[in-house]
Chains A and B, each alone.
Chain A
Amino acid sequence: MTRVAKATGLRLGGFILVLWAVATIVFLAMKAIPGDEVDAILGPGSNASDEAVALAIETHGLNKPLVIQYLIQLKSIFTLDWGISFSLDDPVIDVIAEQLPATLTLAFAALGLAWALALVMALISVFGRFPWRIISMIEVVSAALPHFALAIVLIVFFSTWLGVLPPVSTRDPISIVLPALTLALPTAGFLGQVMRESMMDAMEAPFAVSARARGETTIGLFRRHLLRHAILPAISLAGWAFGSLMSGAVVVEEVFARQGIGKTLLSAVGVRDMPLVIGILMVIAAVYCFVTIVVDLVEAAVDPRVGKAA
């Protein structure tokens, strides 16, 4: 019992430490970028009156010393009072609540798609007649593709040429396919490589050889033994994959004109909307930490060795 409490405590401590580090780094980075926050509040280049500027500075506490601003920022983050976005004039919490679901939907759809694609590639290279080196090459290439370039290629191919998928997000759920595919392909390339290696190793392991000697069919071997070996690395990499999907969402949401915190983050950085930038990055960090914890738990459930080692 105490062991569990201790482990949970450590996790929670690490969690808070990560959030604190993110908040601090973002605060310093935003202060270091040239540009005036008053511009962000009043709209860049505005020729606002003295009174308007004074009012804005007072309202947003920009006349206080840097350290105080930092402490106010930290306090507001940990009391979950995330302040008002300079540029949108809405509470940061509300903005995030409005945008997060779209991004999470996209990220999970992409993660699912990446897993499926990676598994298919791994299976083809392990069991198929297709030479695995070619598959491996496809994996390497797709893992190296930048999201932006891939998005344009997919739009031109599926929308402009074939005309089968909408190039931008619409009310139709099908419009999630291209953005999800854009995010999934590079991730699938990477996951596929790892899964294939792991399955190939398992194929040659003594347990697989002995299973075959007992007369196990290929399908049975795959279902009972290899799948688990393929899934394990995919699960342990899920935290990493999810993080990379969240950051990829910044580009993808912009290109496909999708709603989401990625797109919001981009415009918030452009106008130095500090409360909003910090808020969004905190949420991304929190989601990432959360996914990592879930991954640890799932991993322990799938592979008993993991739990014992820890």
Chain B
Amino acid sequence: MATKTLKTAQSIRRFAMVIDAKKCINCKACVVACKAENQVPLGVFRNWIGEEASGEYPRLRMSFDPEQCHHCADPSCVRVCPTGASWQREDGIVLVKEDDCIGCKYCIIACPYDARYHNPETHTVGKCTFCSHRVDRGEVPACVETCPSKVRVFGDLNDPKSQLHQLLATRRYEVKNPQTGNGPQLYYLL
């Protein structure tokens, strides 16, 4: 569909991400692409890949877990922000207004996913923006585009024709820490 039709007549867009972690090869392409796209300083990350190894030689297992901000429906980071710097767009993308951030780190503590960091250069809080500047141009986030195995699928939950919608309709999935009540919008395929 053309970019404009992402916004349907009935509903506004609600951006989310589906992650097929089984396809992840921990190659860090997403992590480096994010750094390049968003000028994230060394030592801190907007996205990362968890690694879990188990078993006894030679019966070993290893799984990878791509992680980042979950762009929750009811984000606790926004609720605790004393200055309103943490805010949420109508389309669900959670952002930080750098000018309003006083670097108090409440939001870092409030985030159940440890998705926020303190920027050592600006002394404000940084996090994944879903590459909202790219999304607003009709593109997908840098991590999604660059991924060799296309682990991440980005799209509009309200668009029934989107690949994201179809994956959620046809595959089993889970969200992480649903008990927090934050309503996370990163869907992990099982």
| A complexed with B | no
